Amino acid sequence: MLGGRVSAAASTFVVRMSKPGYSDKRGYGDIMPIGMLTVVIIVSLIILAHLAVVIWLSFADGTPGDPKLAYTAKNFIEVFSDVRTYSVLRETLAFSLVSLLIALAFGLPAAWLAERTDLRGKTLLFTLMAIGLLIPGFAAAMGWLFLLHPRIGLVNQLLMHTFHLAGPPFNIISIIGMGWVQGLNLAPLAFIMTAALFGLAHHESSHLYALVVFPVGLALAGLREQTGSVKASILLHALNNLAAFGLALWGRT
């Protein structure tokens, strides 16, 4: 069944291309999600490459290119035997969690409005998010420090003098405060990544549909060859159809 759907989609696209005067009249709105997703994939690959280099160097004992370069786990043993490492890990995890929640809280609804609704001014929304990516994080952090620092923050000083408070009500240099600032800085990136996924997921081009379904067909065929039975493939196919049905219902709401 799945292979037939792929073949039908591919055949429809070939017949459409063979008609006289055929032209692929996809507008800017159709191409933009694909371009955004391509940029996200490229940037992710670059980040993974840098991460691989860091992991490689963490096992190296010496300078890269030196014939005496050796590999050892003593760096990890030294780090994880230090008690301070675990306190740093806890604070880093808390900071990352707060940053992620703040970024998704702002970026995900904005991406949904841009790709799933008829909101006016979508171009302005994309422009503002692009500008947010260009603002240096250092400048944003300095601005928040001048506003909500416990000692020199203008907002804290104003509230303390106005309401005669014993201490500052806000502390931007806490884990939650720093996570707030970092999350706002990452919100444009979260918007771009999720908007690209929203846009690509609802692209109705038949050849793109075939490209998505074809790997699923290969996975079902491979599962049949590995297990020697079609039961596992039928179960996986049913789960795939159930997920597609659920997404279709969710898209109508």
In terms of pLDDT, which residue wins out, 100 or 237? 100
Is residue 22 classed as helix, strand or coil in its secondary structure? coil
Interval 178-195: pLDDT, tens:
999 999 999 998 888 887
Determine the angle formed by the axes of helices 231-252 and 206-227, rounding to 10 degrees.
Answer: 150
Interval 115-140: pLDDT, tens:
878 888 888 888 888 888 888 888 99
Q: Which pLDDT value is given to residue 149?
A: 94
* Phi, psi of 100, deg, nearest 5: -65, -45
Interval 16-44: pLDDT, tens:
444 555 444 555 556 767 777 888 889 89
Q: Tell me what percent of the residues of the chain surpass a pLDDT of 70.
A: 73
Q: Which pLDDT value is given to residue 132?
A: 85
Give residue for tokens 């609704």.
Answer: 117
How many other CB atoms are there within 10 angstroms of residue 150's CB atom? Answer: 16
Using the 8-state DSSP alphabet, how is residue 60 labeled? E
How many other CB atoms are there within 10 angstroms of residue 126's CB atom? Answer: 18
Mean pLDDT, rounded, for 10-16 = 46
Question: What predicted TM-score, i.e. pTM, was given to this entire model?
Answer: 0.57
Q: Which pLDDT value is given to residue 245?
A: 65
Report CA torsion sign: 168, 169, 175, 179.
negative
- Residue 78 above 70 pLDDT? yes
HEC secondary structure over 169-227: CCCCCCHHHHHHHHHHHHHHHHHHHHHHHHHHHCCCCHHHHHHHHHHHHHHHHHHHHHH
As a whole number of angstroms, the distance between CA 17 and CA 38 comes to 25
Which H or E element spans position 25?
none
- Residue 145 above 60 pLDDT? yes
